[in-house]
């Protein structure tokens, strides 16, 4: 297995990613999408990259604009901007490894899961979606951030988010696995239950007992990773 740093562009400028390559040529690819204030170098995403490559998948983890090594400022984050970034990553991978074009999956954590759902709804080539700790909406985010030491998002974010309604786009997503901890202190389990009710079959909701928002417990994170891998193996087909 090897890792390769890659660069591609969206409307915001240069985006930076890491591709995890399996030992054998593969036709199965997963693009991993981090949360609001996270980045591609989180332990969770590095571990996912290694595990997926070990199981024969190509995995791309990348920094959204304003995060990690990518261009932009985190304060300028919008749903539209992150959607553009993920679509740029999708386009890049289809050109980088043409053999994966018909077997691509998305795996997103928190806001990254929301963006994954949004993009999957309009791209039929997405054959599997896995979300971890993903919100149905961002109601209350402004108030939560105001009480925290986190960067404050501009008014543009809150205006832009009103353009999106999970109840409208999630029903267009197929082959969806939702993973959520019952001790999520940031996004209550009720969000996952709403997403599940909105989605079409085949779908599955895996509630991980004791898991928090970031799946900080290594054992519980490993359980979520196994659920994710099994789902992707089922719906992302290898070379025929």
Residue 139 lies in a domain: yes
> Residue 17 and residue 65: Cα distance in Å, rounded?
11
Residue 154 structural domain: 2-235
Residue 51 lies in a domain: yes
Would the pLDDT of 240 be above 90?
no
For residue 124, count other CB atoms closer than 10 A to its CB: 10
Residue 204 lies in a domain: yes
Total domains present in the chain: 1
> Residue 64 and residue 87: Cα distance in Å, rounded?
11
For residue 111, count other CB atoms closer than 10 A to its CB: 24
Residue 240 lies in a domain: no
Report the DSSP beta bridge partners of residue 107: 32, 130
Residue 37 lies in a domain: yes
Instruction: Share the mean pLDDT of the chain.
Output: 96
**Residues 15, 43 contacting (CB under 8 angstroms):** no
> The dihedral of CA 64, 148, 48, 103: what is its sign?
negative
Would the pLDDT of 75 be above 90?
yes
> Residue 62 — left, alpha, or beta (φ > 0 → left; ψ -120 to 50 → alpha)?
beta
User: With bands split at pLDDT 50, 70 and 90, how would you rate the model's confidence at 239?
Assistant: low
Residue 196 lies in a domain: yes
> Residue 29 and residue 58: Cα distance in Å, rounded?
5
User: Could you tell me the CATH number of the domain that includes residue 90?
Assistant: 3.40.50.1820
User: With bands split at pLDDT 50, 70 and 90, how would you rate the model's confidence at 71?
Assistant: very high
Residue 80 lies in a domain: yes
Residue 199 lies in a domain: yes
> Residue 72 and residue 112: Cα distance in Å, rounded?
17
Q: What is the pLDDT of residues 155-197, one digit of tens each?
A: 999 999 999 999 999 999 999 999 999 999 999 999 999 999 9
User: With bands split at pLDDT 50, 70 and 90, how would you rate the model's confidence at 237?
Assistant: confident
């Amino acid at each position: 297995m090897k890792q390769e740093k890659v660069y591609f562009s969206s409307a915001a400028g240069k985006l930076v990613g890491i591709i995890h390559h399996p030992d054998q040529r593969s036709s199965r690819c997963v693009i991993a999408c981090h949360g609001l204030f996270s980045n591609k170098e989180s332990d969770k995403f590095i571990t996912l990259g290694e595990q997926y490559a070990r199981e024969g998948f190509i995995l791309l983890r990348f920094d959204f604009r304003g995060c990690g090594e990518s261009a932009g400022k985190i304060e300028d984050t919008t749903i539209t901007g992150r959607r553009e970034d993920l679509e740029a990553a999708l386009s890049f991978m289809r050109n980088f490894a043409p053999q994966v074009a018909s077997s691509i999956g998305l795996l997103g954590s928190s806001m990254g899961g929301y963006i994954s759902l949004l993009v999957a709804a309009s791209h039929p080539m997405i054959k599997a979606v896995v979300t971890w700790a993903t919100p149905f909406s961002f109601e209350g985010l402004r108030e939560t951030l105001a009480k925290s030491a986190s960067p404050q998002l501009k008014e543009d974010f809150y205006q832009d988010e009103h353009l999106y309604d999970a109840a409208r786009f999630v029903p267009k997503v197929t082959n969806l696995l939702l993973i959520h901890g019952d001790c999520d202190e940031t996004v209550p389990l009720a969000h996952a239950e709403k997403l599940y009710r909105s989605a079409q079959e085949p779908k599955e909701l895996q509630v991980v007992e004791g898991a928090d928002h970031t799946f900080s417990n290594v054992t519980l994170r490993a359980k979520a990773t196994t659920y994710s891998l099994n789902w992707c193996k089922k719906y992302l087909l290898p070379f025929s």
